[in-house]
A and B are shown apart, each in its own frame.
Chain A
C-alpha cells in the first residue's frame, strides 16, 4: 500500500507544481512590467503609459487569481502528503515557508486590493507604491521558495539529530551553494516569461495593425529589456550547470547522458543527442562531439566529469531520457529566445524604431506571437531537470523520497488528485476564456481618475 501512496503523492506533487508554476512566473514579471509603466507615467506624464498600466493589469489580475488559488495546495501538501519530509526538515523548511507567507504573500495580498480597486481613492504615488509592493512581494516569494528548494539540492548549515534536521548556521543554510544561481536563474526565467508574453501579445496586435502606436511602445520596451535579460540568462544557466556537475554529479551525468568518468588528462565527450538506457547503463545511440563535455561542465579542457556508472544504482535518478531531453529543450529555448531578441533589437535599431518598419516585418511579428508558450515550456523543463534529477532524494544525500511520504491511504490521494485535475481544467478554461475576451476587447483609452 505504501508504494502505491508514494507514487500517487509524487504524481500529485508533480501535477500541482507543474500547474502552479505557470502563473507566478507571469505574476512576478508582469507586475514588474506594470510597475515600470506606472513609474514612466508618473515621470513623463504621457497618458499612454497609464493606458498600458490599466491594460496589462487586467491580464495580471486574471493570472494572479489562478496563481493564488493554485498555490494554496502547495503550502499544505508538505504536511498532507509529505509528513515525513515535514518532520525531517520542518525546523528549516517550515521556517523558510513561514517567512514566505509573512513577508511575501501578505505583502502581495495587502496591496493588490489598493492596486486594483484604489484608482481615484489614493494619490498616484501611493498607487505606484502599491504596485511596487505587489511586484516586490512576488519576487520575495520566489526568493524564499528558491532558498528552500536550493537547500533541498545542496543542504548546508545543518546537522541531523534524532532523525531530524537541526539548523547549526542560518547563514550557511540560507546561502547554501545552489542558492545564488537558483534564485537568479528562476527570477530571470520569470522575467523572460513576462517579457515574451508582453512582446507576443503586442506583436499580435501589431500584426493585425490594431492600436499600432500603443502596442509598438510595449513591444519596444519589453524587447529591449529581453535583449539584455535573455543573454544574461544563458550565462547564468551555464554557471548554474557547472555548479550542478560539481555538487550533484548524478544529475549532471543524467542530463548529458554521460556514463564513464573521463581519465585524468583526457576530456569527456559530449553527446549532442542520445538515448540513455538505465538498464544497460549506456546510451542506446548517441551523436557525440569529442572532448566538449569537460569544457561545458567544468570550463576546463581536461575537467573531470563523473559518469553515471560510478554512481551506485540506488542513487541514480529515474526517467533518464526525460531528464536528458528536458534539459535540451530548456537550454535550446534559452538560446533561441536570446538570439531572436538580440536579432530583433538589432533590426529595430537599424530601422531607428520606425513604426512602419516594424509593421512591415510580418513574419517576425508572427514569430514572436508563436514564441509565447516557449518560456513556459522552458520553465517546466527546467523544473523537471531540477526535481526529477534530484531523485531518489527529497533532500539530496539526506532524505530519500520514499521516506518523506505520509502514510495516507491511496484512495484518499486518488480522490484529491482527481479533484485537482477537475479544478485545473476549469481554471484553465476560465482563464483562457477571459483572457481571450481581454485580448479581443483591446485597450480602453479612458482618462485617469483623480484622487
Chain B
C-alpha cells in the first residue's frame, strides 16, 4: 500500500511538473523571445498573448512545491537547502518578471518593464536548467557535472524558447508570426543539440547510465521515447513547412512530453539519482493518502477551469485593445 501511494505521488508530481514545464515553459519562452522584439506594438501583442494565463501557469510550480513538501518532505528539505543559490535566483527571476508584466499595463513608458520581464524569464529558465542539472548529476561537484549543468541550462532555455515561439505562431499576427517561425527553427536545433549531448553525457553517470538504463526493459523504452522525440521534432518542422498555425505548438508539446517521460523513467525509483530514493523521502501512508484524497478532488477541477480560461481567450490576440 505504502509503495503504491509513493509511486502514485511520484506520478502525480511528474504530471504537475509536465503541466508546469509546458504551460509556464511557453510563457517563459515568450518572455525570452520578447527580448528580441524591438517594436513596442509587437511586444504589446506578445504580452497580450500570455497576460491572462502566466499567473496560473506559474502556480503549477507552487503546487508542485507544496506537493513535494507534503509527500516527500525529506526531498523538499534536502533539495531546497542544497540548491539554495539557484532556488533563490529562480525566486528572484520570478518576482522580477511577475511584477514587470503586471506593472507594464499600468506604466506609461514600458520599455524598462519589458526588459525586466525578458531578463527575468531568461533567468528563470536558466535557474530551472541548473536545478535540473544538479539533480540529475546527484548534486556532485566536478567539471563533468558543471558542464552537464551548464548545458542543461542552455537546453531548458532553448526548449522554452521553442514552446514560446510555436505558441506565438498560433496567437499573434503578421510579421511576428514570420519571426516566430524563424525562432522555432533555431531553438529546435539548439534544443535537439543540447538534448543529444546531454544524453551522451548521462552515460558517464554510473547511477543513470549503468544502473538504471541497463535494467531490463528500460533501454528499449527510452529508445522508443527518443524515437517519439525525433518524430515530434520532425513534425514541428513539417507543420512549419505547411504553414500550420496549431501544428508547431502541438509538436513542441509532444517533444516535451517525450523528454520528460524519458527523464522520469531514467531517475525512477530515485528522486536524486544515487542520493535519495523515493522510499527514503516519502511521508507516511496516512499523510500521502489524506493528501491524495484532497488533491484528487481538486485536480480535475483545477484542470477544468484552466482549460476554461484557455477557451475564453482562444484564437489570435485581439489587437483592438
* A interface list, Cβ under 8 A from B: 61-62, 64-66, 68-70, 72-73, 75-76, 78-80, 83-84, 86-87, 89-103, 105-107, 109-114, 116-118, 121-122, 133, 164, 166-167, 170, 406-408, 412, 415-416, 419, 423, 426-427, 430, 434, 437-438
Contacts and interface: CB of A to CB of B under 8 A. Distances in A.
Contacts of B306: 106, 110
Given A86-B73, A113-B313, A103 B298 contact: yes
Nearest to B293: A170
B80 A94 contact: no
B79 to A, nearest CB: 7
B78 interface: yes
A106 B305 CA distance: 9
Contacts of B287: 91-92, 95, 167
Given A89-B73, A438-B106, 4 more contacts: A76-B87, A78-B69, A412-B85, A423-B92
Contact of B312 (A65, A101, A114): A114
A78 B67 CA distance: 13
B142 interface: no
B66 A69 contact: no
A110 B53 CA distance: 8
B106 A434 contact: yes
Interface stretch (B95-103, B143-151, B198-206, B236-244): B95-103
A423 B76 CA distance: 25
Overall SS of chain B's interface: helix
B10 to A, nearest CB: 15
B62 A105 contact: yes
Interface in B48-107: 51-53, 55-56, 58-60, 62-63, 65-71, 73-74, 76-81, 84-85, 87-88, 91-92, 94-96, 98-99, 102-103, 105-107
Nearest to A168: B286
A101 B99 contact: no
Contacts of A109: 55-56, 58-59
B103 A97 contact: no
Contacts of B63: 98, 101-102, 105-106
Contact of A408 (B58, B70, B84, B309): B84
Interface string B7-28: 0000000000000000000000
Nearest to B318: A121
A84 B80 CA distance: 11
B283 A91 contact: yes
Contact of B81 (A72, A83, A101, A107): A83
B283 A94 contact: yes
B56 A97 contact: no
A408 B52 CA distance: 37
B27 to A, nearest CB: 12
B55 A117 contact: no
Nearest to B302: A106
A65 B102 contact: yes
A95 B79 CA distance: 17
B295 interface: yes
A118 B60 CA distance: 22
Given A76-B80, A86-B80, A121-B313, A91 B59 contact: no
Contacts of A103: 294, 298
A106 B59 contact: yes
A88 to B, nearest CB: 9
Contacts of A122: 312
Given A73-B91, A408-B84, A434-B106, A101 B283 contact: no
Contact of A69 (B79, B94, B106): B94
A90 B99 contact: no
A72 B56 contact: no
Contacts of A107: 302, 305
A273 B69 CA distance: 44
A110 B305 contact: yes
A274 B76 CA distance: 45
Contacts of A72: 62, 91, 94-95, 98
Contact of A412 (B78, B84, B305): B84
B309 A110 contact: yes
Nearest to B79: A79
Contacts of B99: 65-66, 69, 426-427, 430
Interface centre among A110, A111, A427 (most CB of B within 10 A): A110
A90 B305 contact: no
B98 A68 contact: yes
B231 interface: no
Interface string B278-321: 00000110110011001100110010011011001100000000
B213 to A, nearest CB: 30
A117 B313 CA distance: 9
B155 to A, nearest CB: 23
A118 to B, nearest CB: 6
A99 B312 contact: no
B312 A118 contact: yes
Contact of B73 (A90, A133, A412): A90
A178 to B, nearest CB: 21
Contacts of B67: 98, 101-102
Contacts of B305: 107, 110-111, 133
Contact of A70 (B53, B56, B95, B290): B95
B215 to A, nearest CB: 30
Contacts of A113: 51-53, 55-56, 309, 312-313
A93 B77 CA distance: 13
Contact of B88 (A87, A99, A419): A419
A122 B311 CA distance: 11
A98 B70 contact: yes
21 contacts: A76-B91, A79-B80, A83-B81, A86-B73, A87-B73, A91-B70, A94-B70, A98-B295, A99-B295, A101-B62, A101-B66, A102-B294, A102-B298, A103-B294, A105-B62, A105-B63, A109-B55, A110-B56, A112-B55, A170-B290, A434-B107
A-B pairs, top 6 by smallest CB distance, nearest first, are: A90-B73, A79-B80, A113-B52, A94-B69, A65-B102, A98-B66
A437 B52 CA distance: 23
A121 B81 contact: no
Contacts of A121: 312-313
A69 B81 contact: no
B102 A61 contact: yes
A114 to B, nearest CB: 6
A86 B309 contact: no
A102 B103 contact: no
Nearest to B63: A101
Contacts of A93: 69
